[in-house]
Each structure stands twice: as structure tokens, then as C-alpha cells.
Amino acid sequence: MKTLLVEAFRRLQGKSQQALFKLTQAMGGGKTHNLITLGMLAKHPEFRAQGLPGLLTATQLPPVRVVAFSGRETDVAHGIWSETARQVDKSAAFKDHYSPLKAPGRTAWINLLKGEPTLILLDELPPYLDNAKSVSIGNSDLSKVTATALTNLFEAIAEHELGNVCVVVTDLVGAYAEASA
């Protein structure tokens, strides 16, 4: 947990090139607790000195925009990208990606997320992706469109414009091996 907190806050401050973290372990391993802790410290600077005593510069960072998505929310309308846009109060930015449903590209993600430090927490995506295989989109399905959207997001956060955006993904390799892949 300490490594995740320190490295994520370094990223949110624009001091690290490590933009993506993947937490992998079996159910009950503490992944969600790590996300909750990180999200609360990001959103509430008044608790950072106590929670991050070795990273005092984190206390100088203003409240961070936090996006949280649970893969157990298999019925979210218009994909994970619409929920991300909604949580950063920019739903209209992705309006062209809702109907017909299509994955936002790298530039669309950059335009959505640039500016404020942003933490995106994607918890237990395999159940969402497993269910998304049953949702037809044209000649494909929602799992493939979501995989494209996430790949584009991961590419976008590597860009300089998003140097203060951090994404943390949790996985369930034991229970959802196919969707985890």
C-alpha cells in the first residue's frame, strides 16, 4: 500500500512517468481497500500528512479529481468512458461516443482529462468485461469496444498533457481468467 500511495502521489504531482498501476491478487487480498485509501487521500488533502508522512510534498497538492468505477456495475449506460466523463463533469465531451456507442480515441481522452490532477480507479473490471461480451455493438461487442477505449486511455496517460493523471486497475485473475486477459 505504501508503494502505491507514494508512487501514485508522485504521478499526481507530475513528478513520475509511471501513470498506470495494476493490482493483481485473489479475492479478499485488499485491492479495493488500497483504492479506497488512495482515493480518500487524493480527495482530502487534510489527511495526507497523517497518511503519507514520508511524502510531505503531497500535502501541497490541491484536492484531486477522483473517478471511481466498479466492474460490478455491469449495467452502466454508454460504457466506462461515459461514466468517467460524467464523474469529471464533462459528459458532453464524449457525446459523439454514446450513440452509436464507440470507443474514445487517445486525443479524446487527452481533451477530457487534461488540466487538473486526476486519479482514475477501475476496480474489478473482469466481471464488467465478462458481461460486456453479451452486449452486441455492430459486428462486435461491448467488451471489445471497452478494451479499445481502455487501451486508448492507457496510451493517452503516457502523454505529457496528462502528466498528472494516474490510473489504478484491479484484477481478479483467479475468478475471471479470460476477462482478466
pLDDT for 15-58, tens place per residue?
A: 999 999 999 865 556 788 999 999 999 998 888 877 666 665 66
Instruction: Indicate whether 181 belongs to any domain.
Output: no
The CATH number linked to 61 is 3.30.370.10
Q: Is the peptide bond before 100 cis (omega within 30 degrees of 0)?
A: yes
Among 109, 114, 118, 124, smallest CA distance to 155 is for 109
Please provide the DSSP assignment of 25-88 as one string.
--TTSSHHHHHHHHHHHHH-GGGHHHH-TT-GGGGGSPPPEEEEEETT-TT-TTHHHHHHHHHT
Instruction: Indicate whether 153 belongs to any domain.
Output: yes
Distance (Å, whole) CA 172 – CA 174: 6
Instruction: Indicate whether 177 belongs to any domain.
Output: no
What pLDDT is recorded for position 54? 64
Residue 109 and residue 156 in contact, taking contact as beta carbons nearer than 8 Å: yes
Taking only the tens place, the pLDDT of each residue in 57-112 is 666 778 899 999 999 998 998 999 999 999 999 999 999 999 889 999 999 999 99
What pLDDT is recorded for position 166? 98
**How many C-beta atoms surround the C-beta of residue 7 within 10 A?**
17
Instruction: Indicate whether 178 belongs to any domain.
Output: no
E strand or H helix at 154 = helix 142-156
The two counts, helices (H) then strands (E), for the chain are 8, 6
Instruction: Indicate whether 156 belongs to any domain.
Output: yes
Give how many domains the chain has, as a whole number: 1
Taking only the tens place, the pLDDT of each residue in 149-163 is 999 999 999 999 999
Instruction: Indicate whether 84 belongs to any domain.
Output: yes
Q: Domain span at residue 137?
A: 2-172
3-state DSSP assignment of residue 130: helix
Among 123, 162, 118, smallest CA distance to 22 is for 123
Taking only the tens place, the pLDDT of each residue in 125-135 is 888 999 999 99
